[in-house]
Amino acid sequence: MRVEPRIVSPAEAVKVVKSGDHIHFSSVASAPACLIKALMARGDAGELKDVHIHHLHTEGAAPYGEARYEGIFQADQFFVGGNLRKHTQGGFADYIPVFLSETQKLYRCGALPINVAMIQVSPPDKHGFVSLGTSVDATLAAVECADHVIAVINKYVPRSFGDAMIPTSMIDIWCVDDEPLEEAHFSTPTDVEVLIGNNCAALIEDGACLQMGIGAIPNAVLAQLGNHKNLGIHTEMFADGVLPLVESGVINGMNKGIDRGKMVSTFLMGSQKVYDFIDDNPMVRMMDVGYTNDPFIIAKNEKVTAINSALQVDITGQVCADSLGTTHYSGVGGQVDFIYGASLSKGGKAIIAMPAVTNKGVSKIAPTLNLGAGVVTTRAHMHYFVTEFGAVDLYGKTLQERARLVISVAAPEHREALDKAAFERFGSHHHYVKGYMK
Tens of pLDDT along 18-33? 999 999 999 999 999 9
- Domain limits of the chain? 10-176, 191-426
d(CA 46, CA 83): 24
Q: What is the mean pLDDT of residues 162-176?
A: 97
SS3 237: strand
DSSP state letters, 44-61: HTT---SEEEE-S-B-S-
| Residue 438 pLDDT | 42
Rounded Cα gap, residues 219 and 197, in angstroms: 8
| CA dist., res. 334 & res. 377, Å (int) | 10
Beta pairing class for 312-314 and 173-176: unpaired
User: What does the pLDDT look like over 393-438, one tens digit per residue?
Assistant: 999 999 999 999 999 999 999 999 999 999 988 875 556 666 654 4
Residue 434: what pLDDT? Answer: 65
Predicted confidence (pLDDT) per residue in 37-50, tens digit: 999 999 999 999 99
Comparing CA positions, the residue from 352, 353, 360, 356 lying closest to residue 407 is 356
- pLDDT over 80 (residue 51): yes
Residue 97 contacts residue 88 (beta carbons within 8 Å): no
| pLDDT band with cut points at 50, 70 and 90 for residue 254 | very high
CATH tag, 10-176: 3.40.1080.10
pLDDT above 60 for 257: yes
Q: Which CATH architecture has domain 191-426?
A: 3-Layer(aba) Sandwich (3.40)
State the pTM of this model: 0.93
| Range scoring the smallest mean pLDDT among 90-94, 138-142, 225-229 | 90-94
Per DSSP, 350 falls in state: E
Average pLDDT across the chain, whole number: 93
Answer whether 130's CB lies under 8 Å from 153's CB.
yes
Report how far residue 140's alpha carbon sits from residue 263's, in angstroms, rounded to the nearest whole number.
Answer: 19
The Cα 186–Cα 28 span in angstroms is 15
> What own/partner pairs with CB < 8 Å and gap ≥ 24 does 424-433 have?
425/315, 425/367, 426/399, 426/400, 430/400, 431/400, 432/400, 432/403, 433/400, 433/404
The yes-or-no answer to whether 10-176 and 191-426 have a common fold is yes
All residues at 6 or more sequence positions from 60 whose CB lies less than 8 Å from its CB, including other chains? 31, 33, 83, 182
Residue 223 in this model has a pLDDT that exceeds 60: yes
Residues that are catalytic: 236
Q: Which residues make beta-bridge pairs with 28?
A: 58
Q: Provide mean pLDDT across the span 280-295.
A: 98
